[in-house]
Structure 1
């Protein structure tokens, strides 16, 4: 077997041996990683350091070693996706530490986990009383997940029979005074509507806004370049104009959403009236 073949053989053996050692060490040493991530991270770092200082070893051997420790993890990841048993072998399985409010001493012993370490893990989850815990599980990456007892869990709208709308991710609609029109249109709003919203919070126009974000409920967060132009300093006239612009934008949206011809004409007609009203008022609003 030539020198490169020996490096390849040693690399495969090294991965297997390191994975076995990591499993024997237990989950609590993993630091938010799975067994395999822990092994690969340490080994590639060591090889890279040796590549820098180990001048007596051929560069080709180092490069082959790096390739081995890159390709094999990719292949193993693919195998883990297809085989539950293989995934269990390389990553391990979660282990229940507390069940029905009772500590499972045997599980703690198997994970080499002390009661002190368990309490630390619970406090990191904002649980200071063991009596509050229904179930605690040590995950594959060494983290402890906690489920509180039912009577101590936070109350949700569903618990009180309240119907809530499904929220979507917030969208940024203004950056450095520039309107992100695509994000705005995907939520079904217009620039006129957005202008009305930012005027309510002190802006006179889009260039006054450093950052603005809208949520799925239509609430707009605005950060102005001039932070003194907050809501208390907004003139009443500007608020009136903003409300008219918002009403106009809503009417335009209604006309786009309806398939009723008469309703569409009515909405468009009122929108034009709002536009004319703004033009008529523009001179007085500047006073």
Structure 2
């Protein structure tokens, strides 16, 4: 058998083995691999390259790869059943910062320098260790950080503000063509789409991507990035209209001398203002 054919066959067998071992040990990102798994992966890669080109019995290399794959599978299996075994083989997290104070002994234990810790914090957009409630060095080598409550970004939940639920946007235009299926799922039709494009003053063939969001608003991206497309204005216009109606009701109440009419205008103005407060965050 020619040498190049032998190399091709060996390579194919090794690829099949890799695929089988991956299925056996499960899907894991490179960042999720423990130290033992990482070193084992490097060993398998080096061993595979060696057995493909080495003038040694090919079956011996296959047995080695299969044995390594079996050991990885058994380690994962036992780690699922025993926490002690999991901690021994996979490792566990080490607290590096607690209540804004660096735990120097744990840093030394993990052979980390202060500069390395601060660098990890900067990668999480934290520049003062005193702003950290606690930081943990995970078994994968990544540093998980939880800032102090006063340093957390403001969210609608913290402000007790209700926001509208966002749903999946539908891509109704792609590469200058209408995606009929998505357009139907969004609850819109061609006539509505053409009306929106006329409002924006753009042609269908000049659009790279167009999406309809959960509010029923169309957002587009043009092939020509130098052209600025105005943002959807339906919600702000509706909010402005509601506020104008409330102002008109107040004006009517001030303009009339009829007591019953004045009370009616005031009552409806208050109802409308209460409604505006409830929907204002959705319409901005």
2:97 aligned partner: 98
1:221 aligned partner: 219
Q: Does the residue aligned with 1:44 lie in a helix, a strand or coil?
A: helix
Q: Does the residue aligned with 2:165 lie in a helix, a strand or coil?
A: coil
Deviations 1:47-87 (A, max 9, x none): 122124422x2111112222333344345445544544443
Aligned counterparts of 1:34 and 1:158: Cα–Cα separation in 2: 36
Aligned counterparts of 2:83 and 2:197: Cα–Cα separation in 1: 53
Change (3 A) 1:192 1:63: farther
Which residue, 209, 212, 230 being the options, matches 2:210? 212
Give the superposition deviation at 1:45.
1.4
Aligned counterparts of 2:196 and 2:40: Cα–Cα separation in 1: 51
Matches within 5 A, 1:84-95: 84-95=83-94
Give the superposition deviation at 1:150.
1.3
Change (3 A) 1:110 1:186: farther
1:137 aligned partner: 136
TM score, norm. by length of structure 1: 0.60
2:107 aligned partner: 108
Unaligned runs of 5+ in 1: 1-29, 233-238, 244-287
- The answer as to whether partners of 2:98 and 2:135 remain within 8 angstroms in 1 is yes
- The answer as to whether partners of 2:137 and 2:144 remain within 8 angstroms in 1 is yes
Give the superposition deviation at 1:100.
0.9
Q: CA RMSD in A?
A: 3.0
Aligned pair 1:48/2:48, yes or no? yes
Give the superposition deviation at 1:38.
0.9
Deviations 1:168-226 (A, max 9, x none): 44443322233334444444444443443344433333x33222234434443312245
1:70 aligned partner: 69
Give the superposition deviation at 1:36.
4.2
Greater Cα shift, 126-135 or 190-199: 190-199
Aligned counterparts of 1:219 and 1:78: Cα–Cα separation in 2: 50
- The answer as to whether partners of 2:170 and 2:212 remain within 8 angstroms in 1 is yes
Aligned counterparts of 1:83 and 1:215: Cα–Cα separation in 2: 47
1:38 aligned partner: 38
The alignment of Structure 1 onto Structure 2 pairs a total of residues equal to: 203
- The answer as to whether partners of 2:170 and 2:185 remain within 8 angstroms in 1 is no
Matches within 5 A, 1:178-257: 178-205=177-204, 207-226=205-224, 230-231=228-229
Q: Does the residue aligned with 1:70 lie in a helix, a strand or coil?
A: helix
Q: Does the residue aligned with 2:136 lie in a helix, a strand or coil?
A: strand
Aligned counterparts of 1:102 and 1:228: Cα–Cα separation in 2: 50
